[in-house]
Amino acid sequence: MTPSDFPAAPVPLWGIDLGGTKIEGAIVDPMQRDRALWRLRVPTESERGYEHIVRQIGALLERLESVSGLSRSPVIGFATPGTVEPATGVMKNCNTVSLNGRPLRDDLAEALRVDVRLANDANCFALAEALLGAARGRKVVVGLILGTGVGGGIVVDGRVLEGLHGIAGEWGHNPMRGEHTPCYCGRDGCVETVISGPALERFYRERTGEPARLEEIVGRAGRGEAAAVATLERLRDKFGEAIAAVINIIDPDAIVIGGGVGNIDALYDDDTRRAVRRHLFNPTLRTEFLKPLLSDSAGVFGAALLGEARSE
């Protein structure tokens, strides 16, 4: 037999999670894709501008090459705090505002000399949890980010759905009935203005005159404090209304809830499921509501998976 008769060894997967304060890179074992062979972080230093962010990514890749002894993969996936506008190839909806309007994919490909695959961080979260985490084995998975902001991603048969405008899964900016709080997106009454962490803290403060972190509010609700109990009831009711619209359209097998608000046990109890059913176009609710298994690793693992998973 000659060397060419043997199958080539699987190539490690490389992923970058581009966050507002840190950039994390990982080289993932292709045979055990929930295992990182190497992980490194550098500060984003986004206040220094777009070109500096691109340089920081390059520096991170050089460090990964150095510690691993590997040459960078010809394909690298990136989880980004926004999305690519498919019609123009430029970034939009990024809370790292210096990225908006810039051709990040093309600039990274040129600077790094690799094939660059970008996906919104919520899409990467959904992909990682669908393939490696809590929703492994399910056909249709919705991954929710429910924290300081509200976002989401959709995975079907292991593929991220991006959509014509690149906004598939953005349930956080659907309007809610009877809600009028202004949203940063320029509209009023978005889901994000109602059940994000800051929105729930604002609801509590308006009733008590006292600021409190969400974790404290949950603890006070457990002790029976009326305003805290009302805050969790609002979360259940409004989450039920908001997510039922998603289920009515997509009918997923499982929904994985990430972010700080996703840690609240009340989201997974029977009262919340009843709140969902009130708005559901079906007499029963079989969709699973799952806590994530990958924690803060989901973004970088999902990015790495972009190197082998195709988007729709």
Q: How far apart are the first and last CA of the chain?
A: 40
Contacts of 187 by beta carbon, 8 Å cutoff, 6+ apart: 173, 175
| DSSP character at residue 265 | G
Cβ neighbours of 105 (radius 10 Å)? 18
Task: Give CATH for domain 3-126+297-305.
Answer: 3.30.420.40
Q: Which sequence spans correspond to the domains of the chain?
A: 3-126+297-305, 137-292
Distance CA 312, CA 310 (A): 7
232 against 148, higher pLDDT: 232
User: How far are the Cα atoms of 44, 99, 108, 221 from residue 52, in angstroms, in the given order?
Assistant: 8, 11, 12, 45
- pLDDT at residue 20 greater than cutoff 90: no
Quote the tokens at residue 98.
């210096």
Same-fold call for 3-126+297-305 versus 137-292: yes
Which amino acid is it at 249? I
pLDDT value of position 296: 79
Q: Write out pLDDT tens, residues 296-306.
A: 789 999 999 99
Backbone angles phi, psi at 288, to 5 degrees: -85, 140
- Overall average pLDDT of the 86-97 stretch: 92
pLDDT score recorded for residue 106: 97
Q: Is the pLDDT of residue 117 over 70?
A: yes
Average pLDDT over residues 288-292: 97
What per-residue confidence (pLDDT) applies to 5?
A: 54
Q: Which CATH architecture fits 137-292?
A: 2-Layer Sandwich (3.30)
Report field, pTM of the whole predicted structure over 0.75: yes
Residue 86: partners with Cβ closer than 8 Å, 6 or more residues away: 162, 164, 165, 166
% of the chain with per-residue pLDDT over 70: 96
Per DSSP bridges, beta strands 13-18 and 75-80 are: parallel
Which spans in the chain are helix H? 50-68, 104-112, 121-131, 192-195, 197-208, 214-222, 226-250, 270-277, 298-305
Q: What is the rounded average pLDDT of the residues 28-54?
A: 93
Mean pLDDT of the chain: 93
Per residue in 242-287, pLDDT tens?
999 999 999 999 999 999 999 999 999 999 999 999 999 999 999 9
Q: Is pLDDT at 150 greater than 70 in this prediction?
A: yes
pLDDT reading at 175 higher than 70: yes
Residues 108, 28, 153, CA angle at the centre, nearest 5°? 65
Amino acid, single-letter form, for residue 6? F
Please report which confidence band the pLDDT of residue 193 belongs to, taking 50, 70 and 90 as the band edges: very high
The closest alpha carbon to 263, from 229, 219, 204, belongs to 219
pLDDT of residue 50: 97
The CA distance from 50 to 102, in Å, is 8
| CA dist., res. 84 & res. 102, Å (int) | 9
Q: Please determine, for residue 7, whether its predicted confidence score (pLDDT) is greater than 80.
A: no
**pLDDT score of 9:** 58
Find the mean pLDDT for residues 28-51: 92
Contacts of 110 (CB under 8 A, 6+ apart): none
pLDDT (0 to 100) of residue 307: 83
Q: What is the pLDDT of residue 311?
A: 41
Per cent of the chain over pLDDT 90 is 87
**H or E stretch covering 169:** none
Query: Where residue 8 falls among pLDDT bands split at 50, 70, 90?
Result: low
Q: What is the pLDDT of residues 204-234, one digit of tens each?
A: 999 999 999 999 999 999 999 999 999 999 9
pLDDT above 70 (res 18): yes
